Amino acid sequence: MTGCQNGSYEVKIMKRKILFSKETIDQRVRELADEISQEYEGREILMIGVLKGAFVFLADLIRSLSIPCEIDFTRLASYGAGTVSTENIVVTKKIEMPIKGRDVVIVEDIVDTGLTLTYLINQLKKERPRSLKVCAFIDKKRKRKIPIEADFVGFTIEDGFVVGYGLDVNEKARFLPDVYIIEE
């Protein structure tokens, strides 16, 4: 794809419907950061961002916290569409910091089927964190296959494919400041 074609691709997305504007996101992220700061008052947390989708959310979230935090990242990949188990999920980038005895918050972009998050939680629990909670930017309800809920949720939607604010469609559109719904 040439740069020019890439450009028109982005324009197409930008003409779609804005689901959450930058202003709405900014406000909600500040509220979430307040919730987290209150919950862990007087402690230091370790936030684990799930790449790539959560990087923008994580960057905004940490700058609104009023408690100290450290940061690490992990990345997971799933293969085999339509799977109902976590067996087809692999870690493609491990966390690098020890989490034993730490208050850990996983920062995810989207919880959809719940398979990725369930796998990650099970892996991290083996390393004995003091506590383990999840903060998700978007909770998509309809396709959940495992009954798992994030502890802190930015926005809840039923379904639909969303992009922008770190979220991609074939690696495009992550840079957009607003969230767009490109498939209802």
Catalytic (active-site) positions: 112
Contact (Cβ atoms closer than 8 angstroms) between residue 109 and residue 75? no
Q: Which of positions 16-75 make contact with ligand XMP (CB under 6 A)?
A: 53
Q: Residue 9 binds which entry of Mg ion, ligand XMP, none, with Cβ cut-offs from 5 to 8 Å by kind?
A: none
Contact between 163 and ligand XMP by CB under 6 A: the answer reads: yes
Minimum distance, C-beta of residue 52 to ligand XMP, in the bound complex (Å): 8
Give the one residue of 49, 116, 134, 176 binding ligand XMP; rule: CB under 6 A.
Answer: 116
180: helix, strand or coil = strand
User: Going residue by residue from 24 to 63, which x/- string records binding to Mg ion, judged by CB under 5 A?
Assistant: -----------------------------x----------
CA distance linking residue 60 with residue 32, whole number of Å: 11
Q: Which is nearer to ligand XMP, 29 or 117 (CB)?
A: 117
Quickly count: other Cβ atoms within 10 Å of residue 27's Cβ: 11
Minimum distance, C-beta of residue 12 to ligand XMP, in the bound complex (Å): 16
Give the DSSP per-residue string, 91-156: EEE---S--TT-EEEEEEEEESSSHHHHHHHHHHHTT--SEEEEEEEEEE-TT-SS----SEEEEE
